[in-house]
Amino acid sequence: MTNIFTLQRSRTPRLSDSRRRMGIILSLPAFLLVVLLLGIPIIQAVYYSMTKWDGLTTTWVGPETYINLFLNPTFWRVLLNNGLLLLSVPFAIVIPMGIAAVLHEHVFGWKLFRVIYFLPTAISWVVIGMVSARFFAQEGLLNGIFANIGLAAIQTDFLAHEDTALFAVAVTFVWSMVGTNTIIFLTGMATLDPSLHEAARMDGAGPLRVFFSITMPQLKPFIQFAFIMSMITAFTALFSLIFVMTGGGPGYGTTTLEFFVYQTAFARGAFGTGALLGVVLFIIMGVIGILQLKLLRSED
């Protein structure tokens, strides 16, 4: 009997070791693919970020390029634009959550409204940018509404001024995220336990009390997911929108870090500085991702 137990114990580590080795062997092709497609380009970008590169010839400069970038006021203006756009992320969460709460109650025509709110998701950024540019233009719909309600004095070309242009981009970004986040919250509400809501109503809780005390705590994973997606979109997915609406202008009024990479590398031919900006954007997104993961784990 002792020999059997001893034999089983001796086999267990060997079995786990063999499984570990097999797991490493099976995951090796995927690891090599990631290294080839992501690792090598990242290393190349870090190298080129320390050079003067015009696309043909490179001149090594060194880490001094990072110091020069951080001393450049234009760089900080572009980062400020990104920070101001991030202020619109809560609106991209709260508005769709309210819409989803109403649609979840199956109000009259809720199926039709669900399709209408989802439409921006099915439209490309280029089309959204073209429609938004016409909406905020001097002769656009928004100024027409102001004229009809007696506010002609505040009519302006919203895309011609730095402050209002960035505001127009932020409003368009929030509108474009309504469909996606509404569907996310509707999916989350469909998984909730209805007995908790019924018990709360029987105890005399009103709709707002039920929503904030019962619905929202159960929607935490969906809120976190929508927040992460909105943050990523605000930092790395607005190039087409800004290109069509404002071209990054007026001045640098709507230039984000993502768009600044394009302006520097392809419009001016400074590919080394473009690589440098890309590395900085990669680091910023990495830090944001790590902070979000820590936040999610701490709440779990």
Q: What is the rounded average pLDDT of the residues 182-205? A: 82
- Provide CATH code, domain 87-254: 1.10.3720.10
Label residue 5 by pLDDT band (50, 70, 90).
very low
Q: What is the rounded average pLDDT of the residues 96-120? A: 82
Q: What is the rounded average pLDDT of the residues 125-136? A: 91
Query: What does the pLDDT read at residue 15?
Result: 54
Query: What does the pLDDT read at residue 85?
Result: 92
Greater confidence (270 vs 110) lies with 270
- Comparing 16-20, 34-38, 85-89, which segment has the lowest mean pLDDT? 16-20
- Comparing 6-10, 114-118, 199-203, which segment has the lowest mean pLDDT? 6-10
215-224 tens-digit pLDDT: 888 888 899 8
Neighbours of 226 (CB within 10 A): 24
Query: What does the pLDDT read at residue 171?
Result: 94
**Angle 152-157-160 (CA atoms, 0-180°, nearest 5)?**
155
For residue 260, with 0-12 CB atoms within 10 Å meaning exposed, 13-18 middle and 19 or more buried, which class applies? buried
Helices (H), the chain: 2-34, 40-48, 64-70, 73-86, 89-104, 110-122, 125-136, 141-148, 162-190, 194-202, 207-210, 216-218, 220-236, 239-245, 257-262, 271-299
Calculate what percentage of the chain has a pLDDT beyond 90: 34
Query: What does the pLDDT read at residue 300?
Result: 54
Average pLDDT, the chain: 85
- Asked if residues 273 and 265 have their Cβ atoms less than 8 Å apart, the reply is yes
Label residue 7 by pLDDT band (50, 70, 90).
very low
Instruction: Round to whole Å and give the CA distance between 286 and 256.
Output: 17
pLDDT value at 95 more than 60 = yes
131-183 tens-digit pLDDT: 999 999 888 888 888 888 888 788 888 898 888 999 999 999 999 999 899 99
Residue 52, strand partner residues: 59
pLDDT value at 108 more than 70 = yes
26-69 tens-digit pLDDT: 888 888 888 888 888 889 899 999 998 887 888 898 889 999 99
- Comparing 174-178, 183-187, 203-207, which segment has the lowest mean pLDDT? 203-207
